[in-house]
Each structure stands twice: as C-alpha cells, then as structure tokens.
Amino acid sequence: MRQAIMTEPGRIEFNEVEAPVAGPGEILLRVKKIGVCGSDIHVWHGLHPFTPYPVVQGHEFSAVVEAVGEGVTKVKPGMKATAAPQQVCGVCNPCKRGDYHICDALKVRGFQAPGCAQDLFVVPEERIVAFPDSLTFEQGALIEPVSVAAHSTSRAPALAGKNVVVFGAGTIGNLVAQAARCRGAKKVMITDISDFRLAKAKEAKIDFTCNVTKENFADVTQEAFGDDGFDVAFECAGVEASLDTAVQHIQKGGNIVVVGVYGEKPRVDMSIVGDRELSLIGTLMYRQNDYEQAVEWMADGSMVTEPLVTGHFSFEQYNEAYHYIEKEGDTTLKVVIDLD
C-alpha cells in the first residue's frame, strides 16, 4: 500500500509498504480523506516541539471500514468512520478519572505516533467513531476539528443565553463560533485580521464579525451586544493581543477559554483577572463524547463545514499541498488530501 512519510521538515517521501492487519479489538480502515491541520503545518516547518522525524502524519481523516478484528462489535465492514488519534496509558490520574485526553503519557497519532497518511490504517475499537452515509467523506475529515470545537465550548459554563466573542476566524475559530451557537449562545461575534476568513464566518452565519485592524473592537461589541457586553470569550488565535483584548473588555465575572496554541508566551494582566473575577480556562483536544457530538451537529445541519474547505490535493501531491498553504495562507482554511 501507499504511505507518505515526512522524513524531515519540508520533505515528504512516498513508499510502498506492507498493509496492516486488524488484530483482536482492532479495526482496519481504508482512508479516504485527510485534513491538513495547523499543527501539521508546524511539523512541516520543523516548529512542532513534540514531534520527532521521520513521522507519518494525518490525524483528521475519514475512512470506510475495510475489516474488523475478533471481538469488534461497534462497526461493520462498509461503514463510514473516523477515529480519535490519542494513545493513552490508562493508569495515570487523568486517565483514571476519565480525562484520558490529558493523559500524563499522551501520544497523538500523526505526531508522537504514526498517523493515517496511508491507504490502510488500524485503530483500536475504543477510538472508532462511525458517521452516517448522509455525511460525505469530506465532511467526515472535518469531524476531528469540529470535536475540538465541541470540547472547548463544553469547557465554559452553560452558553445558553450568553453573548460570546471568538478571537480568531481560522478553521477552529469558525467552528468554535458555530459550536457556541449550537449550545444556545444568544449572540456570537468573531474577530480576525483577514477579510477572507471573516467572509467565511459570514457564510457560516455567524452573527457579527470584526476586523480588528480596520474597526474599533469596543465600538463593534457595543453595536453587537449593547450595554450587556459579552460574557464568554474563546481565544483561538494564539496571540497575546487577542488574549489581552479579551481580558480588557469581557464583562466582570466572565470566562475566557484559551483554545489557541501560543508560539510565544503571552503576558496577561493578572491584576485585571483578579479584580474583575475573570476565569481563564484551558482546553485540550477532545474525548469520545465530543466526537459523537460533532457527528450529531454535522448530521443535523447545525454545523456548516463546506465553506471551510478551500483546496483539494491528491495523495501524491502531499508536498504540493503544503506549498499551496504556505503561498496562499491568507486565502485558505482547510486543505484536504484525497486518497481515492
């Protein structure tokens, strides 16, 4: 079977390797689509601190069940499916209390463990997530990022009736804004420095947008929310300026969920955090129930993903996909690798 392996930053090679076989409790998947994630791009540039080379990438994907091992009951051959990429120890304190997504010995497929950039891929039954035929394989490849949005929005107190601001309108920010809406937020605003990304947010029917390089944030929030302001913020940009804006402008007693990955350590005015009783909340990846929530939202049409896909490349064009993202970064969101 075909396999793509990143041998060093900026270089992907293709090999013919022996196809894997599903053992007891395992599922053999035929991979159909792979989404390129922002973290994958960090690996491409050699900037991911926890990824050794060589590495088989791929953790956002859709597939069809090729075969099942002994004892598997959750899926059958022919079903559409994806799988969560975590490999966990099961014995540390986070695992024992059910928070395996923050396992002390966490490994993620595509980073510290081999990913799915190959024709056939084996996963344990405990990580499999089936999705209905009504969803396309392209949609299936976005279940993972939607799961990030499902989990991060679950980290805030109940969003029903709340005014929400999402900082950063990339793929994750867009999906977080949609997830907040799915959880009953009263009004949702999203910010960015890119008119292209904000236009995509409007396609996804986000209530309000703000280009912080062209508009005054305080004026736009006043127009959107009035004197009520906003109660919850999701920082998805991973930049100090966005986090600072959230801290400075959120209502007293507000909750700020930190979703973005920071290349540099941000400075936070903790005197304001304390004085206004703000809560800074961390979030990482997802659990199985977040995948299931993502599938439910996508299947009933609550979550729109089609506008986010801005490019398709064949499996043999994996290298070209990264060059395209690098060149067209301001006008691209989710790029998908097609294996079929």
Question: Measuring CA to CA, how many Å separate 316 from each of 7, 79, 135, 267, 340?
Answer: 15, 26, 25, 43, 11
Half-sphere exposure of 5 (CA within 13 A, CB side): 14
Helix (H) or strand (E) run with residue 202 in it: helix 195-203
Give pLDDT, residue 264. Answer: 86
Q: Which two tokens stand for residue 295?
A: 């599938």
For residue 42, which of 302, 263, 239 has the smallest C-alpha distance?
263
Asked if residues 339 and 31 have their Cβ atoms less than 8 Å apart, the reply is yes
Give pLDDT, residue 60. Answer: 98
Helix (H) or strand (E) run with residue 261 in it: none
Q: Which two tokens stand for residue 328?
A: 């067209």
Burial degree of 19 (CB within 10 A; 0-12, 13-18, 19+): middle
Q: What is the DSSP string of 285-334?
A: S--HHHHHHHHHHHHTTSS--GGGEEEEEEGGGHHHHHHHHHHSGGG--E
Q: Is 94 helix (H, G, I), strand (E, B) or coil?
A: helix
Domains and CATH numbers, the chain: 2-142+305-338 (3.90.180.10), 148-282 (3.40.50.720)
Alpha carbons 78 and 132: distance in angstroms, whole number: 11
Q: Which two tokens stand for residue 160?
A: 């029903």
Alpha carbons 62 and 48: distance in angstroms, whole number: 24
Alpha carbons 271 and 79: distance in angstroms, whole number: 53
For residue 172, which of 238, 225, 116 has the smallest C-alpha distance?
238
Question: Measuring CA to CA, how many Å separate 71 from each of 79, 124, 144?
Answer: 17, 11, 26
Give pLDDT, residue 192. Answer: 98
Tell me, yes or no, if the pTM score tops 0.95: yes
Q: What is the mean pLDDT of each run of 10 residues along the chain (340 residues)?
A: 97 97 98 95 91 97 98 98 98 97 97 98 98 98 98 97 98 98 98 97 97 98 98 96 98 98 91 98 97 98 96 97 92 96
Give pLDDT, residue 299. Answer: 98
Q: Is 37 helix (H, G, I), strand (E, B) or coil?
A: coil
For residue 29, which of 156, 122, 155 has the smallest C-alpha distance?
122
Alpha carbons 328 and 313: distance in angstroms, whole number: 14
Question: Measuring CA to CA, how many Å separate 87 from each of 99, 104, 110, 218, 240?
Answer: 13, 11, 11, 43, 31
Give pLDDT, residue 338. Answer: 98
Torsion of CA 19, 25, 30, 36, to 10 degrees: -100
Give pLDDT, residue 262. Answer: 87
Q: Is 117 helix (H, G, I), strand (E, B) or coil?
A: coil
